[in-house]
Chains A and B, each alone.
Chain A
Amino acid sequence: MYKKVTILFFIVFLGILPVSAQFLHIGGKIFGSPDLEMQFFTYDNNEYVFYFANEQNETIRFDGITDSRIKSMKPYPAVYLRYDFNVRWFFQFETFYFWFTNEASYKNSVDLAEYSETFNTENNQEILNFNSIQLKWRFAGNRFFAGYTFMKTKSFRPFVFTGFSTMYLMDFRIGDAYKTREYRNQILFSHLSTFAPFTVFNTSGFGIQYHGARASFYWQRSVSDLDIYAADYKQNESLSIDEPHPNYEYMVGVFMSVSVNIFSINTQKSQLDDKALDFFIIKK
């Protein structure tokens, strides 16, 4: 479905180009996310419960999964292709790379002191994996949007845009962890590793342009299922906790970006030259 939508946009985009386009820009961009929230499914009656048969009789209880929010101004890279036509309307296609960490947290039956004594075998100051697992995510993605630029005669030109993004889960793994807890952690993780490999988000934002540089502020929210089990769950919400069921409900975030055109092509330069010549001849 989403692949079809993507292909359709490409066809439309490429179809528009020869009609009224003026400038084709190729540029680089960095963006950051001051707030990215990953919302997990919560279940009223069911919980993930793991009864681990070790000497501590360790019981792990995911009561839903705690909300996970990432706040980071870490810069991420993107490259883009933007086509301006009649100096107001534009289309932009981006490719970006994006990574972050968050935590899935849970309740542990073992007292913290007991856990530290038993499992923190290297006496690290930080007690890892007692009630959370760090998750490491890496995504690549495409973003496609259309926009409108105001005040075309001014140096500073505000603009708005809307479109969609697609994200591809490149890598998903456990972050900082005790090596000695790897087996338990992998069992927990195997129940968390249900994020869909391909996801779609809608994107809207605004910004301001100064010559070839742009700063923008935008948000995006998932519009496709984030979890490989979400569709089944929506059809049958009475799924037993013992059956595979989804963890990730939606993701929403705000982003800030700065971009600059590296290379620009005036695709209608020859036509303009001809019109200028005509004008000159008539004047003359």
Chain B
Amino acid sequence: MLLLIVFSSCYKYETIDYDYENYNRLVGPQGGHINFFYNYGADTNMLLETDTNNIIVELDVPEGALDSNFIFNFYTYEDFEVADELSKGLAMVGTKFFYFVPIPESEGYHEHEEADLSYHYSMNFNKPITVKFHFKVGLENETNINSKRLKYEYYNMFNANYRLYRIKIPRIDEWSNIRNVFVQWNRQGYPVGYMASDLYDIILGYWYPFSTNQVMSASIINWSPVDEFEINPDDNSVEFQINNSDYMYVLARITQIPVTQLPVKIKLLITDYFNIEIIRAAFIEGNYFVLLEDHSVARFSKKGDFISLEKYNVPFASLPNMIKSYLITNYHDEYMQGNIFTLNDDTTVQYQINFQNGECLVFNNYSGVFEYVGKYVYTDDFSGLPQSIKDYIDTKYPDATYTNLLYQDDGYEQLYVVYIGYQGKHIKLFVSAVGDVYYSIYYGLKKQDIPDPVSSYIDSVFNGLEIKTIELYDYVDSSEYQVIMLNEGRIDMKPDGTLIYADYPILVSEVPEIVNNAVADKFTSSSMISARYLFFSNIEYELYYVEDLFVDVKSSGKVIFAMGTNFYDLPENARTYIIDNYSEDEFGDFFYDSGEYSDEGNPYYVVTLQDNTILFFDDDGNYEPNKKVNLKRRNQAIQKYQQFIQNRN
């Protein structure tokens, strides 16, 4: 009995006073305060989570800002290459880039153990959330060499001239369906931030709203200054408010550099016609890209001829009268967020007017006078969606969640693109104004969502490679799965396993003998670097050689196209002609077209000399002085080839 009493008195229930609330990133409608703590340094055993000096970000969420419980994830992004590129005339970064990804607690996380991607989750807060970013916390403990370089070359330069900028993260399809930002999920099934390559494109302006052309020059077009912020030098923090999750932030200083490499002709053209300062220029693929002070981009040919000008945010007063009248009459209550003016070399002009409510109007003067062409409307307000479309969706997808709506009117046809969430899937419906569904795209599918024949084919071809995206295109009378792999290989396949399209890399050893022989018969280059398998109406192989040769060959062994810079890949007769009339040193590149897909009918070679002289030869290499062909195909091939070279490097 005595022992019992002794033992009973020995144990004292341990009460531990650890405040989880101080270390919790879950917050609900009642509001709250979140402290994000810096990860532990390598040289300390301190309990950093309890040390307020190690708070890197504070979020103050007021009551009512959120409608339900949200988990806030906080990420930083830094890349020495980005900072380096920006420093060349665009901006000096003073801190890491940082952003938040809120996730509804009710949605939970992806419960699967594989890497995955999803689209950016956009949400507006009912009230502004106050953010305090302690931008120097943790920098002392950086061990990564690039982080150290950033610290010494950029972050330590921070001074009072730096301002807070925000960089737009587009909502799904807001900047077109090829400009979406992906959230990357790790193998544990949790988000680890936006894909670095997407952030790279957004920060450096390679993507921007409604951009259709490939932007070759970095810009800070997506940057906009945050109007109200407060830098506190005492604790190296910046405090500001956020209203949504659609931006990433950085403290930076916009810079300008002198442009010395531009031809005088271009400088004079800019001075005479635009009367504006040049802040950045690039020479890419034979064209000059000049970034002007107003962030417009002027393009010039190698010879200095004007090609086009894209101008952003033209002041309202400077817009053509017709457009001004149209806007005043129809949009006098809307806030114009920006516009894009495009002047083409044929003097035609197009204006895109963007409004804060998501509308984008298109005007052009192709007919000689400005006229309204059509508009895009990107919104989460579904009140304008015709009832017939709502009925269709509610019947086919009961209890679906309406997320976004894109309305397109090009003057001829109205099209609604409706984004909905249904049973854990995201669906995009293309619907006419009268409710006819042209087709639907189910995106963000998982591997378990695809039928066995498709899954088996992917397994057999890609041998366990991870899938990047799966989309289902559901047409009126058929459907197709489009699967993109992490190596950018692509498969389009019907649910029954019928292959529609394929484009993916294969091993050099997998190229059929007949294809290899066809190349060997025609060209001297022989060291193949890589190969791709193509399937559409027939099977083709794209082959790349060390000697700078790119060849398209049919599976039957017929060479379709070729492009290269190796003089000895030309037929002997062509080489002799060039040596006799010019010299081997003047040779630039060549292009071969079998004529199969062009109007020419007969095979021919196009040789471009260093001075841009173009020579034509027939299949045997005989010079054809009077040949004239459409070089569009050649230019496409060159672009593709150069993309490959760029990727390879």
A54 touches B49 (CB 8 A): yes
Quick one: given A59-B109, A168-B10, are A51 and B4 in contact (CB under 8 Å)? Answer: no
Can you list, as one digit per residue, whether each of A165-205 has a CB less than 8 Å from chain B (1) or not (0)?
Answer: 01011111100000110111011011001000110000000
Q: Is A127 among interface residues, defined by CB-CB distance under 8 A?
A: no
B11 touches A180 (CB 8 A): no
What residues on B are CB-neighbors of A169 within 8 Å?
Answer: 11
B73 touches A166 (CB 8 A): no
A183 touches B47 (CB 8 A): yes
Q: Is B228 among interface residues, defined by CB-CB distance under 8 A?
A: no
Looking at A104-112, A210-218, A247-255, A273-281, the stretch in contact with chain B turns out to be: A104-112
Those of B492-550 within 8 Å (CB) of chain A: none
Q: How far is the CB of B322 from chain A (nearest CB, A)?
A: 51
Secondary structure type dominating chain A contacts:
mixed
Choose from A56, A95, A170, A187 the contact partner of B39 (Cβ within 8 Å).
A56
What residues on A are CB-neighbors of B44 within 8 Å?
Answer: 180
A190 touches B47 (CB 8 A): no
Choose from B10, B18, B37, B39 the contact partner of A190 (Cβ within 8 Å).
B18
Q: Is B14 among interface residues, defined by CB-CB distance under 8 A?
A: yes
Choose from A108, A119, A187 the contact partner of B18 (Cβ within 8 Å).
A187
A54 touches B36 (CB 8 A): yes
A97 to B6 Cα, complex, angstroms: 14
A258 to B56 Cα, complex, angstroms: 59
Q: Is B160 among interface residues, defined by CB-CB distance under 8 A?
A: no
B25 touches A52 (CB 8 A): yes
Quick one: given A53-B24, A55-B76, A193-B16, are A140 and B188 in contact (CB under 8 Å)? Answer: no
Q: How far is the CB of B245 from chain A (nearest CB, A)?
A: 14
Q: Is A271 among interface residues, defined by CB-CB distance under 8 A?
A: no
Q: Is B40 among interface residues, defined by CB-CB distance under 8 A?
A: yes
What residues on A are CB-neighbors of B40 within 8 Å?
Answer: 118-119, 121, 180
Q: How far is the CB of B257 from chain A (nearest CB, A)?
A: 34
A57 touches B25 (CB 8 A): yes
A52 touches B23 (CB 8 A): yes
Q: Is A283 among interface residues, defined by CB-CB distance under 8 A?
A: no
A183 touches B1 (CB 8 A): no
Q: How far is the CB of A201 from chain B (nearest CB, A)?
A: 15
What residues on A are CB-neighbors of B45 within 8 Å?
Answer: 179-180
Most buried by A among B7, B26, B47: B7
Choose from B36, B39, B42, B190 the contact partner of A59 (Cβ within 8 Å).
B190
A53 touches B18 (CB 8 A): no
Can you list, as one digit per residue, whether each of B38-77 has a CB less than 8 Å from chain A (1) or not (0)?
Answer: 1111111101111000001000000000000001111110
Q: Is B476 among interface residues, defined by CB-CB distance under 8 A?
A: no
B188 touches A108 (CB 8 A): yes
Question: Which residue in chain A gives the minimum CB-CB distance to B39?
Answer: A55
Q: Is B432 among interface residues, defined by CB-CB distance under 8 A?
A: no
Q: Is B317 among interface residues, defined by CB-CB distance under 8 A?
A: no
Contact residue range for chain A?
35 or more
Can you list, as one digit per residue, whether each of B343-371 has a CB less than 8 Å from chain A (1) or not (0)?
Answer: 00000000000000000000000000000
Most buried by A among B25, B44, B74: B25
Q: Is B630 among interface residues, defined by CB-CB distance under 8 A?
A: no
Q: How far is the CB of B476 from chain A (nearest CB, A)?
A: 41
Those of B161-200 within 8 Å (CB) of chain A: 186-192
A197 touches B42 (CB 8 A): no
Quick one: given A53-B25, A53-B36, A57-B73, are A189 and B50 in contact (CB under 8 Å)? Answer: no
Q: Is A46 among interface residues, defined by CB-CB distance under 8 A?
A: no
A166 touches B39 (CB 8 A): no
A198 touches B186 (CB 8 A): no
What residues on B are CB-neighbors of A53 within 8 Å?
Answer: 23-25, 34-37, 72, 74
B20 touches A187 (CB 8 A): yes
Q: Is B264 among interface residues, defined by CB-CB distance under 8 A?
A: no
What residues on B are CB-neighbors of A95 within 8 Å?
Answer: 3
A73 to B323 Cα, complex, angstroms: 88
What residues on A are CB-neighbors of B72 within 8 Å?
Answer: 53
What residues on B are CB-neighbors of A43 within 8 Å?
Answer: none
A121 to B141 Cα, complex, angstroms: 12
A168 to B557 Cα, complex, angstroms: 83
Quick one: given A59-B190, A170-B10, A180-B45, are A51 and B16 in contact (CB under 8 Å)? Answer: no
A197 touches B8 (CB 8 A): yes
Quick one: given A193-B16, A197-B11, are A184 and B4 in contact (CB under 8 Å)? Answer: no
A159 to B134 Cα, complex, angstroms: 73
B74 touches A198 (CB 8 A): no
B23 touches A142 (CB 8 A): no
Quick one: given A52-B25, A57-B73, A111-B186, are A172 and B14 in contact (CB under 8 Å)? Answer: yes
Q: How far is the CB of B224 from chain A (nearest CB, A)?
A: 26
Quick one: given A55-B56, A140-B7, A182-B47, are A187 and B42 in contact (CB under 8 Å)? Answer: no
What residues on A are CB-neighbors of B37 within 8 Å?
Answer: 53-55
Q: Is B13 among interface residues, defined by CB-CB distance under 8 A?
A: yes
What residues on B are CB-neighbors of A190 within 8 Å?
Answer: 16, 18
Most buried by B among A52, A119, A141: A52
A3 to B3 Cα, complex, angstroms: 12
What residues on A are CB-neighbors of B192 within 8 Å?
Answer: 57, 111, 114
A50 to B25 Cα, complex, angstroms: 9
Choose from B7, B25, B187 the contact partner of A51 (Cβ within 8 Å).
B25
What residues on A are CB-neighbors of B3 within 8 Å?
Answer: 95, 142
Q: Is A76 among interface residues, defined by CB-CB distance under 8 A?
A: no
What residues on A are CB-neighbors of B11 within 8 Å?
Answer: 168-171, 197-198
Those of B393-441 within 8 Å (CB) of chain A: none
A172 to B10 Cα, complex, angstroms: 12
Q: Is A264 among interface residues, defined by CB-CB distance under 8 A?
A: no
What residues on B are CB-neighbors of A183 within 8 Å?
Answer: 18, 23, 47, 49-50
Quick one: given A10-B1, A186-B18, are A119 and B39 in contact (CB under 8 Å)? Answer: yes
What residues on A are CB-neighbors of B109 within 8 Å?
Answer: 59, 109
Those of A67-123 within 8 Å (CB) of chain B: 95, 107-111, 114, 118-119, 121
Q: How far is the CB of B423 from chain A (nearest CB, A)?
A: 19
Can you list, as one digit per residue, whether each of B581-609 has a CB less than 8 Å from chain A (1) or not (0)?
Answer: 00000000000000000000000000000
What residues on B are CB-neighbors of A193 within 8 Å?
Answer: 13-14, 16
A51 touches B188 (CB 8 A): no
B39 touches A50 (CB 8 A): no
Q: Is A1 among interface residues, defined by CB-CB distance under 8 A?
A: no
Quick one: given A111-B187, A142-B4, A170-B11, are A54 and B18 in contact (CB under 8 Å)? Answer: no
Question: Which residue in chain B gives the minimum CB-CB distance to A95?
Answer: B3
A107 to B188 Cα, complex, angstroms: 8
A168 touches B18 (CB 8 A): no
A141 to B7 Cα, complex, angstroms: 8
Choose from A52, A111, A182, A187 the contact partner of B188 (Cβ within 8 Å).
A111
A7 to B26 Cα, complex, angstroms: 50
Q: How far is the CB of B276 from chain A (nearest CB, A)?
A: 43
A57 touches B47 (CB 8 A): no
B41 touches A121 (CB 8 A): yes
Q: Is A6 among interface residues, defined by CB-CB distance under 8 A?
A: yes
B24 touches A166 (CB 8 A): no
Question: Which residue in chain B gives the minimum CB-CB distance to A198?
Answer: B8
A179 to B191 Cα, complex, angstroms: 27
What residues on A are CB-neighbors of B1 within 8 Å?
Answer: 6-7, 10
A119 to B36 Cα, complex, angstroms: 16
Choose from B4, B187, B189, B190 the contact partner of A57 (Cβ within 8 Å).
B190
Question: Which residue in chain A gives the minimum CB-CB distance to B71?
Answer: A51
Q: How far is the CB of B105 from chain A (nearest CB, A)?
A: 9
Question: Which residue in chain B gives the minimum CB-CB distance to A181?
Answer: B40
Query: Can you add 9 more A-B contacts, CB < 8 Å, to A54-B39, A57-B25, A114-B192?
Result: A53-B35, A54-B38, A55-B76, A140-B10, A142-B7, A180-B48, A182-B47, A186-B16, A190-B16
User: Chain B interface (Cβ within 8 Å of chain A)?
Assistant: 1, 3-4, 7-8, 10-11, 13-14, 16, 18, 20, 23-26, 34-45, 47-50, 56, 71-76, 109, 138, 186-192
Q: Give me 18 A-to-B residue pairs in the complex whose CB atoms sit less than 8 angstroms apart, sorted by A's number.
A: A10-B1, A53-B35, A53-B36, A53-B37, A54-B36, A54-B39, A55-B36, A59-B109, A59-B190, A110-B188, A110-B190, A118-B40, A168-B8, A170-B11, A180-B40, A180-B44, A183-B23, A228-B13
